[in-house]
Chain A
């Protein structure tokens, strides 16, 4: 307890609060630009953190991280473009709300959900890091394979309309993910004789292409913006209170989403892109009115944004206790810790407890600061977007996506892939093939492949190496869960309801 108080005092210094404020603000704007990821934001900050002491450096990184993940929600809502992969699910209901003139409400709901998620994640990190870390270690290659398969069952609900077309989209996504150097075998695949394709199709490049470009082509086609300006701008202010009521009126959804976020976040390698999709899917599954999802139901935003902000602190559990980066940005935080001579492990919490706990507490403060900064910043971004005439908005978004895509890996080929996938994505929309299942396939393909091949390799001493996949109790639990999900989805009553919707 003394350590916690000392840590809190160390963080509640004026200059620390300024670092957090600046970090969250910077992260928010970076996160709102498609292509600029949390990982990149943290990498850009590295040289600055060398001039700070260990705690200050970590606090700055934590604040930027929190801000970036939240910033992705803005463009998801306003432009149907997830700023980071973790806000894919935010587009599903956020953008329909914006089209209905409820953009500010959507942003307010996203903000409050993010704050709650961030604080929940930090609390768990403070009180339950060691047991959660043990849970994380249970997920080996075989378990990861089943997690990926479980994720693929999400297609059932992401597919709007035909299930077969959803599966086709998922398969296309899986296939796109196999382009490039194979993750386990190390050989180059499907490069069609062209060395630059060794880099493969980055998830974020595909994400930008499949989500943004079709939206722009749609605006070019219709000759008008897809957003309805809100009548209520100005007179209801931030709509803070009503948004708070919206979030708190469905406490079960909030608690469930945070719990999902917490569990998935500690599984190393799963990452924020899946957490928000799973939380969204569950919110819809358990809702009494699942047909309202995808058409502007704030509950969808609550699920997505609360779970992905839990992930920020949640992924620090394996990082701080075991030195295992739970998500890509964590690798940079690990790098900074090691440079300052801090070794992850339980010693971190005892010997350097003030530092470790101070870092965690600062992330909680960063989460709280999302509320004022996000509501002000969100309003600013909203105004800029809504007041810009569509004929300037379309080329501006295009410029930003091109630069953002290039910035990701300094690779001009990525820009061509992004634009090409965007055009294809637009054309196959007419066939009823949507972006979400394709992106899901792309996310899960690598996880599934690694898990499968590593498990089979691990079973080389068995007569049938594939048996290694089902050997562990946790694998069997996951398989049971998958069967349950499929049976549930195929239940006749729900089937007929879906057809009506």
Chain B
């Protein structure tokens, strides 16, 4: 599946949107703090405006390969769940199952999974997650995540 989009126009609009979001949230700043962000916002707006113009008058739609959208959406959702889990449940308790699930989903695309694959994935997940957690928290002395479980 392919779609055709005008990347100049889109990126220009993205830049303008970003500039607008920041512009309306700049708040009440003194000269020392405001002068630089104002200049950057102006620069961003000018560049984005130019991109919109180029997109409107000389833009050539670019063909984008949309294959693999479903795995990407899955991947992004996984990242979100991962972070929520680390924050509210625990690093090891979240990472071991998600590690195994991600590994199995990726492996699944090469062929059917056997029970052995599942067991391997879980064991590897335990070893890798536990191993790195140990290295960071014990060896490198990084503070463990603040969450109810490890």
Contacts and interface: CB of A to CB of B under 8 A. Distances in A.
Contacts of A422: 79
Given A44-B140, A175-B41, A410-B142, A453 B54 contact: no
Interface stretch (A50-58, A237-245, A388-396): A388-396
A416 B15 contact: no
Contact of B32 (A175, A185, A398, A419): A185
A189 interface: yes
A402 B142 CA distance: 13
Interface in A422-480: 422-423, 426, 428, 430-433, 445, 448-449, 452-453, 456-457
B56 interface: no
Contacts of A44: 140-141
A201 interface: no
Contacts of B34: 185
A70 B47 CA distance: 37
A18 to B, nearest CB: 20
B15 A172 contact: yes
A398 B103 CA distance: 12
Contacts of B103: 391-392, 394-395
Contacts of B11: 165, 168, 428, 431-433
A452 to B, nearest CB: 6
A47 B140 CA distance: 13
A419 to B, nearest CB: 5
Interface in B82-127: 82-83, 86-87, 95, 98-99, 102-104, 106-107, 109-110, 124-125
A132 B148 CA distance: 54
A107 interface: no
B132 A403 contact: yes
A213 B80 CA distance: 13
A192 B146 CA distance: 24
Contact of B36 (A162, A395, A453): A453
A376 interface: no
A223 B44 contact: no
A280 B58 CA distance: 32
A36 B140 contact: yes
B40 A174 contact: yes
B149 interface: no
Contacts of B74: 220
A403 B19 CA distance: 32
B125 A416 contact: no
B1 interface: no
Contacts of B125: 395
B106 A452 contact: no
Given A164-B51, A453-B35, A172 B44 contact: yes
29 contacts: A44-B141, A164-B51, A171-B40, A174-B44, A178-B22, A184-B32, A185-B30, A185-B34, A186-B32, A187-B30, A187-B33, A189-B27, A213-B79, A217-B75, A223-B106, A391-B102, A391-B103, A391-B107, A392-B128, A394-B102, A395-B98, A399-B128, A399-B132, A406-B145, A407-B142, A412-B145, A431-B7, A431-B10, A432-B62
Given A171-B48, A412-B86, A448-B36, 19 more contacts: A44-B141, A168-B11, A168-B12, A175-B19, A178-B40, A189-B27, A190-B26, A220-B75, A389-B107, A395-B102, A398-B82, A402-B82, A403-B142, A406-B145, A410-B142, A415-B83, A419-B80, A419-B83, A431-B5
4 A-B pairs with least C-beta separation: A185-B33, A185-B32, A391-B106, A221-B68
